[in-house]
Amino acid sequence: MSLIVMLTLLAVIGVQTPRAVEAQVAPQANFPVYLPLIQKACTAGQSYGQGLVYQYDNDNPVRPAYNHADKNFALRGYTTDNGQSRTLQAIVGATDTGAPQLNTLVSPQRKFVITSTRQSYNWNWGTPPNPGTRGSVIPSPAVTVVGLQVTLGETIRVPTSGYDLGQGVTAIVLYAAANSITLHYTRDDSGFPGYTIMIDNICVDPNLLALYTSLDGTARNTYGGGQGSGYSYNLPTLTSNQPIGTALTNELIVAIRDTGSFLDPRSCKDWWKAYWNGSTSAPVCN
- Cα 230 to Cα 129, 157, 163, 189, 227: the distances in Å are 21, 30, 21, 12, 8
pLDDT, tens digit, for every residue of 115-137?
999 999 999 999 999 999 999 99
Instruction: Answer for the pair 238, 166: CB distance below 8 angstroms, yes or no.
Output: no
Determine the pLDDT at residue 117.
Answer: 99
Cα 283–285–286 angle (5° rounding)? 135
d(CA 10, CA 12): 5
Collapsed DSSP state (helix, strand, coil) of residue 143: coil
Domain count, the chain: 1
- Is 90 a domain residue? yes
Does residue 14 lie in a domain region?
no
pLDDT band at 40 (very low <50, low <70, confident <90, very high): low
Domain that holds residue 65: 48-275
Q: In which element (H, E) is residue 252 found?
A: strand 251-258
- Residue 284 inside a domain? The answer is no
Condensed to tens digits (0 to 9), the pLDDT of residues 163-213 reads 999 999 999 999 999 999 999 999 999 999 999 999 999 999 999 999 999
Q: What average pLDDT score do residues 222-243 get? A: 98
Are the CB atoms for 260 and 70 separated by under 8 Å? yes
Distance, in Å, from the CA atom of 57 to the CA atom of 38, rounded to the nearest integer, reads 40
User: Is 241 contained in some domain?
Assistant: yes
256: left (phi > 0), else alpha (psi -120 to 50), else beta? beta
Residue 161 has pLDDT above 50, yes or no: yes
Task: Give CA separation, 273 vs 71, 100, 266, in Å.
Answer: 26, 10, 11
Considering the domain boundaries, does residue 8 fall inside one?
no
Q: Which CATH number do you get for residue 185?
A: 2.70.70
- Distance, in Å, from the CA atom of 247 to the CA atom of 183, rounded to the nearest integer, reads 16
Let me know if residue 34 belongs to a domain.
no
Give a yes or no: residue 116 inside a domain.
yes
> Is 56 within a domain?
yes
Q: Strand, coil or helix: what is 262? A: strand
